[in-house]
Each structure stands twice: as structure tokens, then as C-alpha cells.
């Protein structure tokens, strides 16, 4: 007899009702009274557990089973019986239970409720809890839904390298990658000693290589880890995050924002449909306003305003901020949240930022001061995507890079794209963990990524 997934039993209960099957998994809880007992069994195939009923008259090892701790692994052979009068629609009446590996009282995940901080310390076990099981299944489904969205639209998925020799975001803090102690006794660096013959970093974005591919396929996206070496200890920053970056030719900024809005509505609609148990759990136990918030995104047009207009609004409320703003200042999380939580009460695109506070590759506006950038801000989170129309003019781009002291030798190929069939193109980067926070209601980014990499934390 082969093992059956608990998910299959739920999906095809009519078929399994009355039949004897084998299931295998981990004990969530076990209680008995000397004559009979109940096990809540999870095999990870779905959010729901299977209730296994066991009796002394059927099990020779009843006494051992009754004492099973949470986390023990077992297999159960038994009959599926409908129980319409009970909380569970059906249960398994066990004929045989085999213990594979019993936990003892050292097992850290006992029945009581644990704090998120404690669970972060045992990140290798936390996927077994209800909350993290739901988070990581939604993470898996959300990635799939994103792939589906771009596949449906005919995008090509390209895999850009994680090792790079250029600082693509111009100014972001990068991790050096080296095979050796590359500084000599005087602290000098000899590129000859390096495996790549030059300084190499973990890439903060796949955009530049993505642009090269966009000029071949018309529309592409990359999806993978990006690295930022910044020392930010916030609830929204990790040093390694997952980054989805589409790049589309013959597209302007307005069309880019339409694409982003459509993408957000698609993924939220579909995650609610496809993970109903997990989403219900988040709505009940993590954030009681979650469904309202998500429906608010699906059913409303996102707001759009320029940076200059945003600053006008914010300036009038400078007394409310730790960092008062004026034209030219960076918009920080507190300002982003004010705009979408207090002013608009929905997602907001802010466009046309001053060129000084944005990356070198963004298309310059006629005014000479601003660039065709758009950041998408979400209530409760702040920035979830950053994007722009790209500068396509060789000379403008070269000059701007020169002003920023970016070395042409590091970007020669990127500049060449502007000579070899350059076309209007735009793209954005979605922080996958940020959108996961929004979709699950989980408020710390460390709790939506398996093993978070943050300052002073690289366990596992």
C-alpha cells in the first residue's frame, strides 16, 4: 500500500471515504485517556491536519503511542471514516501506527504559543509551525503566480548572474567576493591575485544584464536573490532578498505603471483563491484587517503623483515627521507611509524624482532636474517596487555617468546597448519579501524569508 498525501485525502474525500490507507507525517498534538486517543497529524502537503483516532484494543504499542510528543514522526495505517457530527469532516481510525523517530522533551516546539523572536532563533524548525507553514507555502505559490503572470504575457525568464564586477545601483553598498586574503602587507590590492582578475561583488540587481536580454527578446524578467551590504536593522531590510525584475522594450513610464498595477492585482486575486486556508489563517491570527486591505488593493485604482506634488503634501505636515522634507530630499519610509496610509489610503505611485537621489540609468526629463522614475508605495510597507524608464541616449547616459564618477570601463557594454539598436525601454524591481509581508500581514521581513540575512545574523 502506498502512502497517500493528506492533501489528496481532503481533495478526494469521496474516493477515500471508507477505504484503508497509509499516511505519514509529524505529530502536531497527541492526547489519550488510557483507552483511546487522538493524534493531529501533519504531513506538510496542506495546511490542514488529519485527525487519527487510536484505541487500545487495536494497537499493541498503544502505551508508546499515547506518550508521543509533538514533532515525532510516524506512519499510520487506517480507515478513513466520515464524521459529519464533529469539527473535522472525517478522521482516520488507526489499525497500525509505527513510530519512526520520537522526540523527547528537548523538542523546542511544544504545544504552547511561542514568540516570533524565539522562533527566529530556531529558524530551522519554524516551518513546522502553523504560521510559518502558511507563510512559506504562500511564498511558494506567490512565486509561481508571478511566473504565470509573466509567462501569460509572453515574457522570457532569464537568469542573470549573481557575481558582478559593476556596482549596478551606483552607490549601493556591495559585498566583495574573493577567494583569498587579497590585501598585501601594506594593505594594497593586487587585482592579479584575484580569480577573476578584478574586484567582484554580489550583485544588488539583475537589471543591467536584464536590459541586454530585453534587447533580444523584447520583454524579459529575472527572479533571484539580490544582495545589499547596508547595515540597516529595520523590519523591511535584509541583506539578501529575492528580486523580481522585468524589463520591457517599447514601453514608457505610464505603461510600466499599468503593468505593475495589473501584476499586483493578479497576484493578490490569485493568492486569495489558491491559498484559502492559509489566507484565512492570516486574516484571523495575524492581521484581522487583512482581507479588507487586500480587497482594497484589488478594487481601487492606484494613485499616481509626482515627487514634486508629494513633497508639497508632505511639507505641509513636516511637524509629523522625524525627518522633515524639502524638494530634493529622499522620501523615507515615514513619508511613504504617510502618503499611502493617511493621504490616499491605497497604493501610490510616486514619479519623476530628482535625478540626484536616483540611479544613473534613469531617463532624464526635459526639465533637466528630474528622472522618469516610479516607486510603488504600499500602505503599511512603503516601497515595494522601484522602477523607471531607462536613458536610451548614448551621450546623455555617458555624461551623466561621468558626472557621477562611474568608470566607463566598468559599464562599456551597457553603454554600447545605446549604440546597437537602442530603443525606449522600462523596467522595475519588486522586493519579493516586501510583497509577501503585505499579502500575509506579517510585519517583520525576517519572518517571510527562510533564513534571514541581517546585520549580525547569518546562522545556518
| Interacting residues toward ligand 4AD by CB under 6 A | 169, 205, 207, 228, 237-238, 241, 243, 245, 383-387, 427-429, 431, 433-434
Q: Rounded to an integer, what distance in angstroms lies between the CA atom of residue 420 and that of residue 415?
A: 9
Distance in Å, CB of 429 to ligand 4AD, minimum: 3
* Residue 25 interacts with, from ligand 4AD, Mg ion, none (CB under 5-8 Å by kind): none
Q: Rounded to an integer, what distance in angstroms lies between the CA atom of residue 219 and that of residue 79?
A: 53
Residue number with CB closer to Mg ion (219 or 228): 228
- DSSP-derived secondary structure letter, 460: -
DSSP alpha helix (H) spans, 12-129: 13-16, 62-66, 116-121
CB atoms within 10 A of CB 140: 11
Kindly give, in sequence order, each residue whose CB lies less than 8 Å from that of residue 12, ignoring residues fewer than 6 positions away: none
Residue number with CB closer to Mg ion (132 or 242): 242
Q: Rounded to an integer, what distance in angstroms lies between the CA atom of residue 361 and that of residue 363?
A: 7
Residue number with CB closer to Mg ion (386 or 452): 386
Q: Cα–Cα–Cα angle for 436, 243, 275, nearest 5°?
A: 30
The closest of 236, 277, 279, 295 to 440, measured between CA atoms, is 279
* DSSP-assigned letters across all residues of 405-446: T--HHHHHHHHHTTTSS---EEEEEEEHHHHHHHHH----GG
Judged by CB under 5 A, the residue of 386, 387, 427, 452 near Mg ion is 386
Residue number with CB closer to Mg ion (78 or 386): 386
347 near Mg ion (CB under 5 A): no
360 with 341: CB under 8 angstroms? no
DSSP alpha helix (H) spans, 203-306: 207-217, 253-274, 276-285, 290-299
DSSP alpha helix (H) spans, 316-407: 333-337, 394-403
Q: Rounded to an integer, what distance in angstroms lies between the CA atom of residue 341 and that of residue 30?
A: 45
245 with 428: CB under 8 angstroms? yes
Distance in Å, CB of 339 to Mg ion, minimum: 15
Distance in Å, CB of 330 to Mg ion, minimum: 10
* Residue 260 interacts with, from Mg ion, ligand 4AD, none (CB under 5-8 Å by kind): none
171: left (phi over 0), alpha (psi -120 to 50) or beta: left
Residue number with CB closer to ligand 4AD (169 or 391): 169
| Residue nearest Mg ion, CB atom distance | 386
Residue number with CB closer to Mg ion (135 or 253): 253
Distance in Å, CB of 372 to Mg ion, minimum: 14
Residue number with CB closer to Mg ion (41 or 350): 350
Binding part of the chain for Mg ion, among 121-129, 223-231, 262-270, 379-387 by CB under 5 A, reads 379-387
Distance in Å, CB of 251 to ligand 4AD, minimum: 12
* Residue 434 interacts with, from ligand 4AD, Mg ion, none (CB under 5-8 Å by kind): ligand 4AD
Binding part of the chain for Mg ion, among 80-88, 124-132, 365-373, 383-391 by CB under 5 A, reads 383-391
Residue number with CB closer to Mg ion (204 or 386): 386
| Residue nearest ligand 4AD, CB atom distance | 431
Residue number with CB closer to Mg ion (78 or 204): 204
Compute CA distances 288 → 75, 236, 273, 291, 292, whole Å: 36, 21, 18, 8, 9
Residue number with CB closer to ligand 4AD (46 or 220): 220
Q: What is the dihedral of CA 53, 57, 61, 64, to 10 degrees?
A: 60
Distance in Å, CB of 257 to ligand 4AD, minimum: 13
Sheet holding 200-202, edge to edge: 163-164, 200-202, 176-177
Distance in Å, CB of 417 to ligand 4AD, minimum: 15
Distance in Å, CB of 259 to ligand 4AD, minimum: 12
Binding part of the chain for Mg ion, among 230-238, 301-309, 344-352, 384-392 by CB under 5 A, reads 384-392
Distance in Å, CB of 383 to Mg ion, minimum: 6
- For Mg ion (CB under 5 A), the number of binding residues is 1
* Residue 207 interacts with, from Mg ion, ligand 4AD, none (CB under 5-8 Å by kind): ligand 4AD
Interface positions with Mg ion (CB under 5 A): 386
Amino acid at each position: 500500500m502506498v502512502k497517500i498525501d493528506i492533501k489528496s485525502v481532503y481533495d478526494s474525500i469521496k474516493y477515500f471515504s471508507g477505504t484503508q490507507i497509509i499516511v505519514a507525517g509529524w505529530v502536531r498534538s497527541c492526547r489519550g485517556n488510557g483507552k483511546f486517543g487522538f493524534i493531529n497529524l501533519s504531513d506538510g502537503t496542506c495546511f490542514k491536519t488529519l485527525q487519527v483516532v487510536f484505541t487500545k484494543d487495536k494497537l499493541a504499542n498503544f502505551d508508546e503511542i499515547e506518550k508521543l510528543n509533538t514533532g515525532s514522526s510516524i506512519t499510520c495505517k487506517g480507515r478513513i471514516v466520515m464524521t459529519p457530527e464533529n469539527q473535522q469532516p472525517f478522521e482516520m481510525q488507526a489499525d497500525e501506527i509505527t513510530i519512526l523517530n520520537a522526540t523527547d522533551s528537548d523538542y523546542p516546539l511544544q504545544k504552547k504559543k511561542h514568540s516570533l523572536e524565539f522562533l527566529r532563533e530556531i529558524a530551522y524548525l519554524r516551518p513546522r509551525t502553523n504560521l510559518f507553514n502558511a507563510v512559506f507555502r504562500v511564498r511558494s505559490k506567490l512565486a509561481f503566480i508571478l511566473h504565470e503572470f509573466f509567462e501569460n504575457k509572453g515574457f522570457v525568464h532569464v537568469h542573470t548572474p549573481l557575481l558582478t564586477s559593476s556596482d549596478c545601483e551606483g552607490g549601493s553598498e556591495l559585498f566583495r567576493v574573493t577567494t583569498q586574503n587579497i590585501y598585501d602587507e601594506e594593505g594594497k590590492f593586487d587585482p592579479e591575485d584575484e580569480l577573476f582578475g578584478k574586484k567582484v561583488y554580489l550583485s544588488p540587481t539583475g537589471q543591467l544584464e536584464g536590459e541586454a536580454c530585453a534587447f533580444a527578446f523584447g520583454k524579459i524578467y529575472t527572479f533571484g536573490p539580490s544582495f545589499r551590504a547596508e547595515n540597516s536593522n529595520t523590519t523591511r531590510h535584509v541583506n539578501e532578498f529575492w528580486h523580481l525584475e522585468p524589463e520591457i522594450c517599447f514601453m514608457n513610464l505610464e505603461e510600466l505603471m499599468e503593468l505593475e498595477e495589473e501584476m499586483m492585482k493578479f497576484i493578490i486575486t490569485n493568492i486569495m483563491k489558491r491559498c484559502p486556508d492559509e489566507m484565512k489563517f492570516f486574516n484571523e491570527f495575524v492581521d484581522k484587517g487583512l482581507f479588507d486591505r487586500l480587497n482594497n488593493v484589488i478594487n481601487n485604482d492606484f494613485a499616481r503623483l509626482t515627487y514634486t506634488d508629494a513633497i508639497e503634501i508632505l511639507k505641509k505636515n513636516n511637524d509629523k515627521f522625524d525627518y522633515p522634507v524639502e524638494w530634493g530630499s529622499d522620501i523615507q519610509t515615514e513619508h511613504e507611509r504617510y502618503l499611502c496610509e493617511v493621504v490616499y489610503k491605497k497604493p501610490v505611485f510616486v514619479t519623476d524624482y530628482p535625478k540626484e537621489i536616483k540611479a544613473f540609468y534613469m531617463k532624464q526629463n526635459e526639465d533637466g532636474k528630474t528622472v522618469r522614475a516610479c516607486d510603488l508605495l504600499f500602505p503599511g510597507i512603503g516601497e515595494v517596487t522601484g522602477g523607471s524608464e531607462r536613458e536610451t541616449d548614448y551621450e546623455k547616459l555617458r555624461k551623466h555617468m561621468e558626472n557621477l564618477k562611474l568608470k566607463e570601463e566598468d559599464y562599456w557594454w551597457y553603454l554600447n546597448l545605446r549604440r546597437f539598436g537602442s530603443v525606449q525601454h522600462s523596467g522595475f524591481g519588486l522586493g519579493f519579501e516586501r510583497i509577501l509581508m503585505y499579502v500575509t500581514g506579517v510585519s517583520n521581513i525576517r519572518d517571510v524569508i527562510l533564513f534571514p540575512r541581517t546585520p549580525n545574523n547569518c546562522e545556518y
